[in-house]
Amino acid sequence: MQANSTRPKKKMKAGDQQTLFGNRAFDPRQDCDVCKGKGCGSVVHRAHHKLCCNNGRTRGIVSAVTLESMQEDKRLKEHFAAPLSEGERFSWKHAAKEAQAAFFAPREATVKQSKISAVTTAATTTVMDTSSGTATATDFCKAVTAKVNNPSFLNEHKDSRAPLAMLAFAGTVAEAIVRNKHNNVLNHFDGLTMTVPATDKDAIVPPQCDSIVGQKLLHVGWSQMFGLQLNCPRCEKGVLVDDRTNFSKNKILFPIFETEGPPLWCMVQSMVCRCCKARLHANADEVLCKVPACARAACPVETKHALPSENSHIGKGATAVFDLLMPTCGNGDLCSRLLCDSINRSHMERVTCCCSCHKTHRSAGATSAAATEPCINKDGQHVKARPPLGDGIRDTYDSACSNQNNPWKMSDHERHTGEIQSVGCQLVFAQDHTHEVTKNCFEKKSLGVNALWDVSTETGETAAAILAPTTKTRHFAHAATAVVEKEQLRPVCCLQRHVAVQEFVLGEAV
């Protein structure tokens, strides 16, 4: 309201910032003589303007209270950084007499008497009978229930990102299948994935086990699951040797978010090179490029999105959707909501099934009602591994587009650039400036972007698109020259056709 008042205002230029009172904000490149002289190549022997951020005394701050606060912070920083003097060391000057007496008073040694508790808790590990080579769904359900009902297990994993039932299932699988030499891993895993089995329909399943039925657990270990021996991508000489997984060391599971259902939880193998001693994870982009395509298809993550710096990955299904949405609208918040909504819908489906089973058995009789347990309390537990927000998805997508760790060793950015450069035409093309596109440009003011110059062909493809500060010809002349030099761009207008026909007719007549 103040900016739109009737106060006289100077005409502002493109790129100027407007203040609350309608005037132009201070710009060091225009209002500070020293900064303005440096931009022109001259030296001005005077102090910077008091509003300039390069002023050593004010730092661009005029408020006296703020300057006093900065000076006080500087004084305290120097005070605490200075070493103690001899008189300040080991001094009782600032200690009360009561504190001195309490510190030097004799203390009585306390002896704790050990007591034998008669209450014993269930063991964390549950031995499963896997002598037959396979474990049934009932065996997994009993083992998971025993772990979840153990107070020590709950206390140990209270801060975990994954659900407690999924951690219990992963621990059971690691003990009874992965680390058991007498058990065949391929009998339970399909490639890298193992789905939590469902028990018999007539059996009463505890709510903790029922909440993870259908979820997938991955064991990303190429040596154990596929028998592959991978070379080190760093030195290209050594061989990667399995060391340990993230679950065996820290008891954590790596999430992979998809647009359908809950996240996939991974036990990722850590591998070490014998030659250069480099440590790499089995789900990193460098390692996935070394894996053959027949085995790499079992990993539900694209190589370009398998970034080692991220604490979660995006699945192939979500990647296919984001590749269509992000280049056109760049709406990272929508992509984040899609991932969150998939988790919410799967959770509501499992809650509905559990409540329906509880109601059915309760109406059957008193015995079933006593054995059937209600659903897990809504505010009692929750998954702490959340999908990335809109900014995180945009940053991840930008990193994935510039990632060259893929089977063809070419990033999406380079491929898209080559596709635009190869666009041509045989009939007509159109060029113009558009201003609406620049509203979605990141850091538009700092880059000085005002318009987008683009060239379109008769097929609807874009032959060139550049950002320009103005619509003047000199700001897009270099791009126009590059477009004209394309061999594929050979437009033919009606006038050229008419002249060519006349020359042909005259030549035949002569």
For residues 179 and 506, give the distance between their C-alpha atoms in angstroms, rounded to a whole number. Answer: 90
pLDDT-derived band at 225 (thresholds 50, 70, 90) equals very high
3-class state of residue 218 by DSSP: strand
Ranking 66-75, 80-89, 142-151 by mean pLDDT, the lowest is: 80-89
Residue 503 has pLDDT above 50, yes or no: no
Residue type at 112? K
For residues 217 and 207, give the distance between their C-alpha atoms in angstroms, rounded to a whole number. Answer: 19
The mean pLDDT of 288-314, rounded to a whole number, is 92
- pLDDT value at residue 341: 92
> 88-97, 229-238, 417-426 — which one is most confidently predicted on average?
229-238
Residue 198 has pLDDT above 60, yes or no: yes
Residue 123 has pLDDT above 50, yes or no: no
What's the mean per-residue pLDDT of the chain? Answer: 80
Residue 477 has pLDDT above 60, yes or no: yes
The mean pLDDT of 86-110, rounded to a whole number, is 74
What is each CA distance from 387 to 115, 162, 346, 392, in whole angstroms?
A: 47, 13, 15, 9
The mean pLDDT of 16-22, rounded to a whole number, is 74
- pLDDT value at residue 377: 58
Six-digit token string for 478: 């270099």
The total number of residues written for the chain in this structure: 510
Six-digit token string for 289: 């490029």
Six-digit token string for 344: 């919410």
- pLDDT value at residue 502: 42
Residue type at 38? K
Share of the chain above pLDDT 90, in %: 24
For residues 489 and 485, give the distance between their C-alpha atoms in angstroms, rounded to a whole number. Answer: 8
- Beta bridge partners, 271, equal 242, 280
pTM: 0.65
H or E element: which one contains 266?
Answer: strand 264-273
The mean pLDDT of 41-54, rounded to a whole number, is 83
CA atoms 43, 46, 49, 54: torsion sign: positive
For residues 480 and 462, give the distance between their C-alpha atoms in angstroms, rounded to a whole number. Answer: 13
Ranking 16-25, 218-227, 337-346 by mean pLDDT, the lowest is: 16-25
- More confident: 266 or 58: 266
Residue 278 has pLDDT above 60, yes or no: yes
Q: Write out the DSSP string of 409-427.
A: ---HHHHHHHHHHT--BSS
- More confident: 200 or 75: 75
Q: Write out the DSSP string of 446-472.
A: HHT--EEEEEEETTS-EEEEEEESSS-
**Under 8 Å between Cβ of 200 and 139:** no
pLDDT tens digit string along 356-395?
776 776 655 544 444 556 656 554 556 677 889 988 898 8
For residues 374 and 379, give the distance between their C-alpha atoms in angstroms, rounded to a whole number. Answer: 14
- pLDDT value at residue 122: 36
- More confident: 445 or 170: 170
Residue type at 120? T
Residue 499 has pLDDT above 60, yes or no: no
Number of separate helices (H) and strands (E) present in the chain: 20, 10
Kindly report the CA angle at 305 between 302 and 308, in degrees rounded to 5? 120
